[in-house]
Amino acid sequence: MAWHTFAYRQSIGPTTTLTELNVVPDDILTRSGDKRFLVPADYRFIRFVQASGPNLTRAVLRSPSLEVRRQQYEVVPRRRGGETLNLTALEISHPVRPVMLVSTEELSALATTDGASASVVNVVVSLGLENPPMAPAGDMRIIRFLGSTTLVPGQWTTVTVTPELALEAGTYVITGFLAISAGCIAARVLLRGQAYRPGLPGLAGTEATAVDYDHAMMAKLFGYNLGSFTHIELPQFQFLSASADTTQTVIVYAVKVS
């Protein structure tokens, strides 16, 4: 559908030299070693990127095709001061036009940090189509899903969620979602029959505080067709978190199409 979200994460530094980060294991993308993913043949445009870390000073994406163009993707803005985003000023790098990569080339994330000791850096990337499908017309539904899985810090953890209220029978197209847990960095959705897992930046904290977020920035990532589910086959979500959270909330924006 619209894009696939994946991540890099490692404790590095302090260093003023760009250091290649380890990949976070991914069920979909092919890895070439521990530090690089291969760009999918069909999803080869950088849609948006987030980089975060307590002592992060710089983050970039690097690939052979970018180097041929004498450039690399500078992740700006970026989050310095913690692994999770600043809710009232979401630091998300969202290019005005998608940046093109080459199918099957290697893509790596690199970073620099300062401080007195090594610190964690996260880089979350979403690669997709140049012009992803927009949300269909129809009746918009806002559905609150709840989960209670213990998350594994620094890994994609699958969370089975339950709607707070039973859903009306039918098919729903997801156009965006807000994933909330104490240490949520990002989350992505798993849908039956769909290999790619579109994700969005996570909102960290309790639900009461996490919903006070930078709506203008997040709204730029909404309104696309992220895939569909039915009232019988519900979505699952994978959370990337900085902590072993045991409570998750996902507020899904969906259009009922049948």
Which pTM value belongs to this model?
0.97
User: Which one-letter amino acid corresponds to residue 84?
Assistant: T
Residue 1 has pLDDT above 80, yes or no: no
pLDDT, tens digit, for every residue of 3-48? 999 999 999 999 999 999 999 999 999 999 999 999 999 999 999 9
Model confidence at 254, pLDDT cuts 50, 70, 90, reads: very high
Q: What architecture is domain 3-128?
A: Sandwich (2.60)
Mean pLDDT over 107-120 rounds to: 98
Q: Is domain 139-256 given the CATH code 2.60.120 in the classification?
A: yes
Cβ(122)–Cβ(52) below 8 Å? yes
Strand stretches in 105-202, DSSP E: 106-113, 119-128, 139-147, 156-160, 162-163, 171-181, 184-190, 199-201
